[in-house]
Copies of this chain bind each other. A is one copy, B any other.
Amino acid sequence: MRAMAEQTSKHTHVLIIEDQHLMRLALIHELQAALPASIVHGAANITIALDLLETHQFDLVVIDPGLPGYDPKSQDDRFDVVQVVIELSPDAIHFVVTGSDTDEEWEHCQKLGVVGYLAKNNIRPGALVDVLQEVAERGHSVRLSNETTAPPEFYHSGLTPREQEILGWMRQRPSGISRKEIYEQLGDRFDIDAASAEKYYKRARAKLLKTGLLPKGL
């Protein structure tokens, strides 16, 4: 009865269980970007999560087992959360997202029915698209902790998102690659004209110059 409205919908229903507010919102944002026609619910603790699981039907549930009220050092407690959630949403696929990942935990989670196991420090913006695709192809996707060699980031309040984005890519330009080539790559990646990418970069550069700030690599 209550589920009728949900099931007639063509949207993907997602539930994010994560106690860190900013992380939960970021994951919600990532999921919405990865699944254009989606409805994403967020739960900050297990009580809310269980309530939502009883009243809604989900296609994808993302779980951070490190919730308050459970001993973060107790593996049993962590698995309990995962197990309960899976039992309440048997038709969904389940991801685990954690700040302290281990190989053993992934193996145990997999036995419980988890198909995605992601370390928080290995989730970059846009990465969930790849994860979802890998799950669709291989049945599961694992991204353990990984000390990345990410370049330093630079955010100026006067720049638009596009300008930030283009600038970020341009700052990673390897030596030997001309800017023009980057413009073409960016144009390809964002499905815009290379000339537009060039324009954004130049405008971003102009703004930074006006305020007297330019990162080293121009």
Contacts and interface: CB of A to CB of B under 8 A. Distances in A.
A153 interface: yes
Contacts of A185: none
Contacts of A51: 152
For the complex of A and B, the 9 pairs showing the least CB-CB separation, nearest first, are: A42-B153, A22-B26, A44-B150, A68-B147, A20-B120, A19-B121, A40-B155, A21-B124, A20-B121
A155 B121 contact: no
Interface of A: 5-6, 8-9, 11, 19-28, 30, 32, 35-45, 48, 51-52, 55, 66, 68-69, 72, 99-100, 120-121, 123-125, 145-148, 150-157, 211-214, 216
Nearest to A73: B73
A67 to B, nearest CB: 9
A39 B157 CA distance: 6
A121 B64 CA distance: 12
Given A21-B124, A39-B156, 16 more contacts: A5-B212, A19-B121, A19-B147, A22-B27, A22-B30, A22-B120, A22-B125, A23-B23, A24-B153, A39-B157, A40-B157, A41-B152, A42-B154, A45-B147, A51-B152, A72-B100
A54 to B, nearest CB: 12
Contacts of A157: 11, 32, 35-40
Contact of A99 (B35, B66, B123): B66
B26 A25 contact: yes
Given A20-B121, A48-B152, A213 B39 contact: yes
A150 to B, nearest CB: 4
Contact of A212 (B9, B68, B69, B150): B9
A191 B8 CA distance: 39
Nearest to A32: B157
Contact of A145 (B68, B99, B214): B68
A68 B121 contact: yes
A22 B44 CA distance: 17
